[in-house]
């Protein structure tokens, strides 16, 4: 019968368990917290929306392109313009033609996030990973 003893095995176990807890923290808390902080600091959102799936170790963020106030105002303008056009087109006239030519649908072709914001998010996630998932050897 062989009996093998290893000195310092408890230190190795402690180090591995610390590594696992750091990885678990990053998946459960770190990513979601970083996404929320990024929206508050860089995008100036008062209430960032971050969905955290702690068991799956991931987080999603819903990035609204505009504030709710802007969206409601645009929707109101679109409805008012559509009603006006429908009313005036039902009875063709010079006034209807003018209303049709002046109404402009509000759409945007700009990207929701500028490239510099994406770069900031990438940098912040990288910094969080370096901070949380760096292990040092204890001598």
* pLDDT tens track for 58-88: 888 877 766 778 778 888 888 887 787 777 7
Residue 2 lies in a domain: no
Number of other CB atoms surrounding residue 116 within 10 Å: 9
pTM for the whole thing?
0.58
Region of residue 58 (left: phi > 0; alpha: psi -120 to 50; beta: else):
beta
Residue 125 lies in a domain: yes
Domains of the chain: total = 2
Instruction: List, in sequence order, every residue forming a beta bridge with 59; answer none if it has no partner.
Output: 52
CA-to-CA separations, 109 to 65, 106, 118, in angstroms, rounded: 12, 10, 18
More confident residue, 68 or 106: 68
**Distance (Å, rounded) from C-alpha 5 to C-alpha 7?**
7
Pair (15, 29) in one structural domain:
yes
Of 32-36, 49-53, 95-99, the one with minimum mean pLDDT is 95-99
Range of the domain at 26: 11-64+111-134
Q: Which letter, b or e, does each residue of 49-76 get, where b requires 16 or more Cβ atoms within 10 Å of its Cβ?
A: ebebeeeeeebebeeeeeeeeeeeeeee
Residue 39 lies in a domain: yes
- Joined together, the tokens standing for residue 61 give 């963020």
Q: Let me know if 81 is exposed, middle or buried by CB neighbors in 10 A (0-12, 13-18, 19+).
A: middle
Residue 139 pLDDT greater than 60, yes or no: no
Residue 1 lies in a domain: no
């Amino acid at each position: 019968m062989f009996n093998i003893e290893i000195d310092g095995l408890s230190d190795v176990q402690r180090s591995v368990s610390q590594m696992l807890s750091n990885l678990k923290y990053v998946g459960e808390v770190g990513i979601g917290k970083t996404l929320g902080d990024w929206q508050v600091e860089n995008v100036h959102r008062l209430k960032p929306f971050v969905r955290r799936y702690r068991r799956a170790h991931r987080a999603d963020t819903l990035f609204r392109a505009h504030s709710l106030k802007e969206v409601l105002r645009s929707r109101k303008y679109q409805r008012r313009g559509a009603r006006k056009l429908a009313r005036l087109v039902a009875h063709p006239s010079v006034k209807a033609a003018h209303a049709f030519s002046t109404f402009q649908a509000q759409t945007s072709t700009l990207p929701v996030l500028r490239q510099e914001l994406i770069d900031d998010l990438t940098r912040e996630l990288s910094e969080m990973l370096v901070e949380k998932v760096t292990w040092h050897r204890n001598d």
